Chain A
Amino acid sequence: EAQVTQNPRYLITVTGKKLTVTCSQNMNHEYMSWYRQDPGLGLRQIYYSMNVEVTDKGDVPEGYKVSRKEKRNFPLILESPSPNQTSLYFCASSLLTGMGHTGELFFGEGSRLTVL
């Protein structure tokens, strides 16, 4: 079954304690991306990756890191989480064409993070 898998689905942590949210897709998609969803603000892109070792900042990259060492995995790293990073996080992936990605994203189930 084609899917994007995120872990953990729920996490409560404390300020400053490093954490990683994993994301894995089994569709051989080149493009992967992380979004955060907050009430009234919709979906905002944190980072995206066009392929292995190719990553770029989205709209709200501060406080986050990513890596793309393998095509299927795109972990999101919070080196020193703060309460304003409390949010619902989604990983997504899609195919790329010669004109960029199709925009047809496949989303993971979401990871709800609370930073105390």
Chain B
Amino acid sequence: AQSVSQHNHHVILSEAASLELGCNYSYGGTVNLFWYVQYPGQHLQLLLKYFSGDPLVKGIKGFEAEFIKSKFSFNLRKPSVQWSDTAEYFCAVAPRQAGTALIFGKGTTLSVSS
């Protein structure tokens, strides 16, 4: 069965620290990849996406993610986090074939202390 694994359940960082959140998926075909963010009390918003081309994609608020096809990974990074980055982060995978669902990981809670 297709699945998405996020390595860390809860990450705690101080402001200005670097961030890397891991995401691996299990699907042999071509996929579209996403990171969504959910700020406290809010709905999910798209942070960044990868469909094709340059495997290093840049999103909003200084976030970037790298697609490594050989590792089935799509890790999220940010060089210097801010307190306002405190949120839950979800990796998601959409197998690129008709009629399939978007599969979410279980999420990683990021807490940034000022």
CB contacts (< 8 Å) of B102 on chain A: these are 33, 45, 94, 101, 103, 105
* Number of chain B residues whose Cβ lies closer than 8 Å to a Cβ of chain A: 27
Q: Which of A90, A104, A108 contacts B49 (CB 8 A)?
A: A104
CB contacts (< 8 Å) of A103 on chain B: these are 32, 34, 49, 92-94, 102
Known A-B contacts A58-B101, A98-B98, A100-B96; A105 and B90 likewise in contact (beta carbons under 8 Å): no
Q: How many A-B residue pairs have CB under 8 A?
A: 65
Q: Which of A14-22, A36-44, A64-72, A74-82 contacts B (4 or more CB under 8 A)?
A: A36-44
Name which residue of chain A comes closest to B1, CB basis: A59
Query: Taking beta carbons and an 8 Å cutoff, which residues of B are in contact with A?
Result: 9, 32, 34, 36, 42-46, 49, 51, 90, 92-102, 104-107
Query: Taking beta carbons and an 8 Å cutoff, which residues of A are in contact with B?
Result: 33, 35, 40-45, 48, 50, 56, 58, 90, 92, 94, 98-105, 107-110
